[in-house]
Amino acid sequence: MQYLFYLFAAISVISALFVVAARSPVNSVIALIVCFLSIAGHYILLNAQFLAAVHIIVYTGAIMVLFLFVIMLLNLNKQVEPRKSVVTRIAAVAAGGLFLLTLLGAVKDGIGLARPDEYDMAVGLVASVGNSLFTTFLVPFEISSVLFLSAIIGAVTLGKRDKADVNPVAP
């Protein structure tokens, strides 16, 4: 079991690095998709079946495709973006590293585990998630539909072209 974990972990980290380091945006997107798939693998290892499925459908299937569409729309594949200065890059890596160290320091003292008696066996199964969603978390569930509505409206409004689009004035 551990081997699977380490395998998936390695794939995640390497593909994440690739996302950050790739030149072409499309390559970044592909790498990110691989990362997502590996994380889905992690979910399955944790017996979170529902989440794994939703993860692949929503993230890999919808969001990444959306990214690809936008890249295609904006014709970005051919661009080579200017690099940031060396100092900034080193600072970025350092910041990330520091962050990692700080948080590792936070968790170094170990984390408690629940006792087996309180364990809900069905956790991760679709029925269990569904049950929780429609009873305890009903209100957020309904409100999220409103959230989507606003997101749709926002996206459509932002995407519209004005008649006077000659002058680039921030809206």
Partner 1 sequence: MTRDILAALVPALPLAGALVNAAFRRSLKGNTAGLLATLMVAGSFVCGVLLFMGQEVVGAMHDVNMHQQDAHEGPAHVVKLFDWISVGGMDIPFAFRIDALSLTMVLIVTGIGSLIHLYSIGYMHDDERVATFFAQLNLFTFAMLLLVMGANFVITFIGWEGVGLCSYLLIGFWYKNPAYNYAARKAFVMNRIGDLGFVLALAWIFSVLGTLDYGEVMARASSIDTATVTGITLLLFVGAVGKSAQLPLFTWLPDAMAGPTPVSALIHAATMVTAGIFLLTRSSALFMFAPFTQDVVLYTGLVTSLLTASIGVFQNDIKKVLAYSTVSQLGLMFVALGAGAYSVAMFHVTTHAFFKALLFLGAGSVIHALGGEQDIRKMGGLKGTVKVTYVTFLIGTLAIAGIPGLSGFFSKDAILAAAYQEHPAIWVVSLLISLLTCFYMFRLLFLVFFGTYRGKAHPHESPLVMTLPLMVLAVLSIGGGLLNVPHIFGGHEAMKHYLSTAADGIRNERPELSATTEWTLMIITVALILLVILFAWNRFGKKATIDPEADELPFFQRLMARKWLIDELYAKLFERPYAWLSTQLDRTGERAVMVPLMMGPGGAANKAGQLLRRLQSGNTGFYLFGMVVGLIALLAWTLYNA
Partner 2 sequence: MNEVITAIRAVPLEHYVVLSLILFSIGMAGVLFRRNTIILLMCIELMFNSVNLLLTAFSAHHGDPGGQVFVFFIMLVAAAEVTVGLAILVMMKRNVDSIDINQINRLRG
Binding stretches for partner 1 (CB under 8 A): 84, 88, 91-92, 95-96, 98-99, 102-103, 105-106
Among 86, 118, 163, 166, interactor with partner 2 by CB under 8 A: 118
Q: How far is the CB of 103 from partner 1 (least distance, A)?
A: 7
> Shortest distance, CB of residue 106 to partner 1, whole angstroms?
6
Contact between 11 and 34 under an 8 Å Cβ cutoff? The reply is yes
Q: Which residue type, as a one-letter code, is found at position 51?
A: L
Residue 65 binds which of partner 1, partner 2, none (CB < 5-8 A, kind-dependent): none
Question: In the complex with partner 1, which residue's Cβ is closer, 99 or 141?
Answer: 99
Minimal distance in Å, beta carbon 90 to partner 1?
A: 12
Site for partner 2 contains 92 (CB under 8 A): yes
Angle at 66 between CA 51 and CA 11, to 5 degrees: 50
Amino acid present at 15: S
Contact call for residue 159 and partner 2 (CB under 8 A): yes
Binders in 5-44 for partner 2, by CB under 8 A = 5, 9, 12-13, 16-17, 19-20, 25, 28-29, 32, 35-36, 39, 42-43
From the CB of 163, what's the least distance to partner 2, in Å?
Answer: 13
